[in-house]
Structure 1
């Protein structure tokens, strides 16, 4: 991949969206959450999170972009309606659209689409593809481990994860915000898998940065 500028494309979609009631309210929440993410990360993405077809969205980031910070904030805004994600690393062969993550083409998009289909078939939340990208197997082992752990987390744990690791809130403030006891939050944060999930996401982002060379 030397000499080719790489981009990281994320395609996300709602799991079993057609089975959900109140579709109009869901779509409104979806659009609001994407709009907020687009504003919050405007100076850190290539093309902002954009609703595409059905219940899917796309976003284009540089290889050193805030992937898991963006997804954590987005999922919090969506109140953890379950999503799956395909991550694709590669070039973009068309002109970059800075206003919306649509109207572009190239290997980064093909890889993200294929990764999403693999995630859908395998049942994992996350999957990655980057033709020729180093460490692809290692990245997917970590992504699949994170998928299994995240799937087992209850809502309180997911909310605590975001507020503690991505908002930097103190335990007492998280407890007050979520209307639970501080010892309950402390037990969640002390869970070894809680910290390992953070470490795994940071290591994956490091490997993506190194792929650009």
Structure 2
């Protein structure tokens, strides 16, 4: 077992658009974000305790019943919003207020405190201009700090890998992550040869990236809310 949690633990996710004030078509980006979050709410309805919703124009949040699909949701938002970059704070802990399925605004408790701590940590790292600062951070209450450090180290390494991708590598890797099928299938969708797919996956460290994502997913999957 990775984590030790009470059965009232949830996963709170706070997302924040990076350098939002520099975006020229800000209103269009916000409209797109609203649409993407609505799609997430529909697709992952059974795993969501409170729907993802925009809270402060450039920030959004949602509450998950468990950690099972946390990384899938983050990755899907990241892919659909690209090239807009988003930082994600993920917090595991109790929610002390009533949980409203339709709206996560107003929810409170250690889960959200930890997600906020994670977002603020990422912002501070960016202000310090740290090289390859991570764009996802995980925080938790309780006696799980060794595993938390491990997860955040992996998340930082994933950011290093992502930052090394060419545009083509990113397209092919994200296609593989979304469809979860074969290199031959990817080649058909891109109308290229299978060896070209293999070359891009290899140079982009796809299999290392996927295995690291799976490791984080398995760790977070052990976190369960009291209604799961």
Match of residue 208, structure 1, among 209, 220, 223: 220
Distance in 2 (CA, whole Å) between partners of 1:100 and 1:185 is 41
Structure 2 residue aligned with 1:91? 94
Counterpart selection for 1:188 from 200, 204, 211? 200
- CA deviation vs aligned residue, 1:134-174 (integer Å, no higher than 9, x gap): 21111111111112222222333333223212312433443
Partner SS for 1:63: coil
RCO higher in structure (CA 8 A, sep ≥6): 2
Of the candidates 130, 133, 136, which is equivalent to residue 148 of structure 2?
136
- For 2:5 and 2:181, locate their aligned partners in 1 and report how far apart those are by CA, in whole Å: 40
Q: Which runs of 5+ in 2 are unaligned?
A: 126-132
TM-score (norm. length: structure 1): 0.89
CA contact (8 A) 1:133 1:211 kept: no
Q: What are the Cα deviations for residues 22-73 of structure 1, in whole angstroms up to 9, with x where unaligned? A: 1121111111111111111112222222111121111211333301211222
Q: Does the CA contact (< 8 Å) of 1:130 and 1:136 recur in 2?
A: yes
Match runs of 1:169-180 below 5 Å: 169-178=181-190
Aligned length: 213
Q: How big is each residue's C-alpha offset from its partner over 1:65-101, in whole Å with a ceiling of 9 and x where there is no partner? A: 3012112222222134211111111100000111122
For the pair 1:30 / 2:33, whether they are aligned, the reply is yes
1:100 to 72, 84, 103: 103
With normalisation by structure 2, the TM-score equals 0.83
